[in-house]
Chain A
Amino acid sequence: MSELAIRVENISKQYRIGLAQERPDTLRDLLMMGFRRFKHKLSRKGSGRYDDPGHIWALKDVSFEVERGQVLGIVGRNGAGKSTLLKILSRVTDPTEGYGEIHGRVGSLLEVGTGFHPELSGRENIYLNGAILGMRREEINRKFDEIVEFSEVGKFIDTPVKRFSSGMYLRLAFAVAAHLEPEILVVDEVLAVGDAEFQRKCLGKMNDVAQEGRTVLFVSHNMSAILRLTQETIVLDQGKIVLRAPTPEAVDHYLNMGLTKQGERFWTEEELGGKSDAFKPEALRVLNTDGKVVDTVNAAEGFSIEFEYQLTEAISGLRVGLYMMTTRGEYVFTTFDTDDPELYQEYSVRPAGHYISKCHIPPNLMNEGRFILGLNASVYRIRRYFQEDKALTFTVDVTGAPGTHWPEQRLGPVRPQFDWDIEHK
């Protein structure tokens, strides 16, 4: 049975961006713009509208087919066009060009809890949210008890959801969405939220949906979840499909994509404010084990961080420090290039010149997520030459890290490999 569920041909979507004065958000702007356009039309015939610098293509000529019952993964970096694609497939927005057809009811979990109203009770929100997601009242009545049970909010069901803890709120929201029975389910990063236990439950539910033979489009940054749930995956980059392949291959490709655009940071003279300091930062890089500059590193393989700088004069007692922070602002660790007593002795005075301090992060230390690097160059208790708290961000992927056979998110910023003993008595 190879019935088609989704077919899209050359779908493109253009957005207007930036260029504040080009966007008529108020009537005055509109009038001004109308006038300018009029002048423009007089001076130049035809419209070059599509290649305007104020427009970008969020998607460009995307074509693919999905068969009924298939679970297809979609991966790509932020801004690669994943969300735009899902929005088009769920008809929230129209493509600028192209054609597509969808066979069956589409249910989207673009964001759980859409349409929840804080003032209404859990019960009322189940009905409201169900209706918004496209369920009939009779259908909600039928599934009501199941939804409440799945959400575990039980006796709070008649309390306004604004009094719910965020966990309860989320569980209820997902419970409603999970009981939708569309032929095609579109899921975007629902698993990025909630505690580990809840995430396990969500993944389980999604697995069930897939087992029932329904079509699922699954977008995630969580490679373990993608690997676990999908057989085939599309890799998007800059609005285009760069690869469609069996999931392991696609994930591999995604992780190895020449991600040099990020993972590197330079300091220019202007940025430093023209201060003629003895210490001049030049570049900060995140490197994988092959020594390539990357935005995403693999925790199981380890990686390194190198900081390049210039000393215009000799400095004694200089130490270069590195801070690792989570995106929530918790410090993971602080380390200095002269922590080692030997290096501390050797570089008690650093003569003027060009330096690279490179920190090797061992395999199986970091957990998955996005991390922020902070930098510091100082002489202990004497002088701080340079400090930048958010110098660079990068992503850690945990494919192959300890315990990834359970596709759940682990708590905590680190994910070390520990030795365990199990005694059977």
Chain B
Amino acid sequence: MENSQQQGKQSPIIYLRPSKGWLSIDFKELWRYRELIFFLTWRDIKVRYKQAVLGISWAVLQPLLTTLIFTVIFGILLKTPSQDLPYPLFSMSALLPWQLFSTALQRSSVSLVGNANLLTKIYFPRLAIPLSSVFAALVDFAVSFVVLLLVMAYYQYWPGWNILWLFPIVLLALLTALAVGLWLSALNVQYRDIQHMVPFLIQVWMYASPIVYPIETIPEGVWRSLYGLNPMVGVIQGFRWALLGGTPPDITMLISIIVVVVLLISGLYYFRRMEKTFADVV
């Protein structure tokens, strides 16, 4: 086996030591394991729609049905203002990034516990697990995005060049979900309270984001700035603007970005600190 010997020469020495304190994040290693992240993502997607009669069409139905409910309750019955947009379009353009975020958050926060059998048997960068849950949510999003474009076409709305802003905005939504997901998934390994708390958290968070109502409902000034602490405010507002025009993102976007960066960096470090105990505790 001259082949394996060659590999042996190249392979680095692995050191075993007690883990102490905060560890730096090994992005190189994460990159080496990119195929694993790909396969875990792929597994999540595959498994989710296996043995469901409607399969991937659930990714179409979910936002459509929610939009319908919101339109009836908030648009028709409560007559919520909608920035002069048709209410279905108004709420659906917010629901998409929201569902991307909430699916990613929900799945990533239980991801470590759900993969306990892997954690206790095999070594790989633990970050791969919440990361792949977040990526898996992106596939649903892509499918429902096509539906949104069709709904827009129905209402005769055509996106302009601003649509390119969607890329950084969607990235921000993913990073927000990842940041919170890192914290919650690591906490959930030890405290299963988290998984009971997450649905509630998501519900509250939804009403704290401009999905069913326009951002103008919140008084400007201090309140609006406080509101901007919720990164999903910037995401949703930006998403709507990039597609449909209307109120462009303002200072709240900047606050959102800062909040996400802080959450993400702290989440990464907390995760890294805890990951060495996952196998013993989970």
Contacts and interface: CB of A to CB of B under 8 A. Distances in A.
Interface of A: 8, 11, 15, 24-27, 30, 68, 87-106, 108, 110-111, 114-115, 117, 119-120, 124, 127-128, 131-134, 136-137, 160, 181, 183, 212-214
A114 to B, nearest CB: 4
B14 A131 contact: no
A97 B122 CA distance: 21
Contacts of A212: 1, 4
A108 B193 CA distance: 33
Given A92-B279, A105-B11, A213-B5, 11 more contacts: A11-B16, A27-B193, A96-B18, A101-B13, A104-B8, A114-B122, A117-B43, A128-B43, A131-B38, A131-B40, A214-B4
Contacts of A100: 15-17
Nearest to A214: B4
Contacts of A92: 119-123, 279
Contact of B35 (A24, A137, A160): A137
A95 B8 contact: no
A87 B119 CA distance: 11
A94 B46 contact: no
A94 B18 contact: yes
A31 to B, nearest CB: 11
The DSSP consensus for interface residues of chain B is helix
A102 B35 contact: no
Contacts of A30: 191
Contacts of A94: 16-19, 276
Nearest to B123: A91
Contacts of B18: 94-98
B158 interface: no
5 contacts: A102-B14, A103-B14, A110-B121, A128-B43, A213-B4
A160 to B, nearest CB: 8
A102 B47 CA distance: 36
Interface residues of B, number: 40
Contacts of A132: 36, 39, 118, 122, 124
Nearest to B275: A94
Contacts, number: 132
B156 interface: no
B50 interface: yes
B121 A25 contact: no
Contact of A25 (B42, B123, B192, B280): B192
B51 interface: yes
B217 interface: no
Interface string B185-216: 00000111100000000000000000000000
Given A27-B193, A88-B16, A102-B16, A110 B122 contact: yes
Contact of B279 (A24, A93, A98, A124): A93
Q: Choose among A92, A136, A212 the residue with the greatest number of B CB atoms under 10 Å from its CB.
A: A92
Interface of B: 1, 3-5, 7-8, 11, 13-19, 35-36, 38-40, 42-43, 46-47, 50-51, 117-124, 190-193, 276, 279-280
A89 B46 CA distance: 33
Nearest to A102: B14
Q: Which 3 A-B pairs have the closest CB atoms?
A: A100-B16, A91-B123, A131-B39
A139 to B, nearest CB: 10
Nearest to B119: A92
A119 B47 contact: yes
Contact of A120 (B8, B11, B40, B47): B47
A114 B16 contact: no
A18 to B, nearest CB: 15
Contacts of A101: 13-16
A137 B121 CA distance: 21
B16 A24 contact: no
A94 B70 CA distance: 50
A133 B36 CA distance: 9
A243 to B, nearest CB: 23
A133 B123 CA distance: 8
A104 B35 CA distance: 20
Nearest to A30: B191
A37 to B, nearest CB: 16
A95 B35 contact: no
Contact of A106 (B14, B39, B42, B120): B14
B16 A134 contact: no
A54 to B, nearest CB: 14
Nearest to B38: A131
B158 to A, nearest CB: 40
B14 A127 contact: no
A104 B47 contact: no
